[in-house]
Each structure stands twice: as structure tokens, then as C-alpha cells.
Amino acid sequence: MADIAVQSLTDVGLAPTYTAASAGGDKIVNAGANQVLIIRNKNASSRTVTLTTTKTVNGLAVADRAVVVAAASGLQERFIGKLDKSVYNIASGEHAGKVSLSYSTEVDLSIAHISLD
């Protein structure tokens, strides 16, 4: 499990660095709506990225968000953004303020975490 570093988009542009998805999942610091995750799949099979939710409403847990990245015949990308801190952020402990990601499989999957601020 790794923390995926955030990269800042500026007026000179950004050539994002992609980090290989970890077998045990990953975490990102979630500062709010001005961030985007770019998930790349280079495999001939689709991949599912699950964002763990931490919120409950009237005692019922909000379901985790599963995002499918299509099978690739070269490269497929999926952009994920506007992660509501009250829904996704871990509230306390060493991972406070982070979002937990897990994968159906990490093979041929990579991630860039971009800040638009």
C-alpha cells in the first residue's frame, strides 16, 4: 500500500507521472473538489477501482464507489474527481484526510493524482 503523491497543474501544463497501483491498495490525500485521479489500464481486461466510503446516513453505511476502467487495446483512461471529503476521507488516525483505493487487480494499472489548485 502506498500514498500516491499529488501533482500540481499550472499554467505551463503538466506531464503527469503515473504510479503503478499497489497490490494492497493505495491512499491519496483528499483536499477536495479541485483534484482529479487519472486511472490508466493497459490490460486487455477491464479493471475496477473501488473508493472506500466512510459516511453513514441514519445509521446506514454509504456504499463504496466502484469505477470500471474498460479493457484496453493499447490504453484506456478513466478520470475520477470531486471527491466529497465527508463521504470519502478517513476521519482519524494515521490516514486521516486520505481516501482509500483498492483494485480488482493491480496488474497493468497506474494512477496520477492531479491538483487543479
Structural domain boundaries in the chain: 2-115
- pTM score: 0.92
Domain 2-115: give its CATH architecture: Sandwich (2.60)
What local confidence, expressed as pLDDT, does residue 37 receive?
97
- Strand 109-115 and strand 6-8: the pairing is parallel
Whole-angstrom distance, CA of residue 44 vs CA of residue 33: 31
Q: Which amino acid, 47?
A: R
Pick out the chain residues at pLDDT < 70: none
Based on C-alpha coordinates, what's the Rg of the chain?
A: 14
- The pLDDT score that the predictor gives to residue 117 is 83
Would you state the pLDDT for residue 55? 95
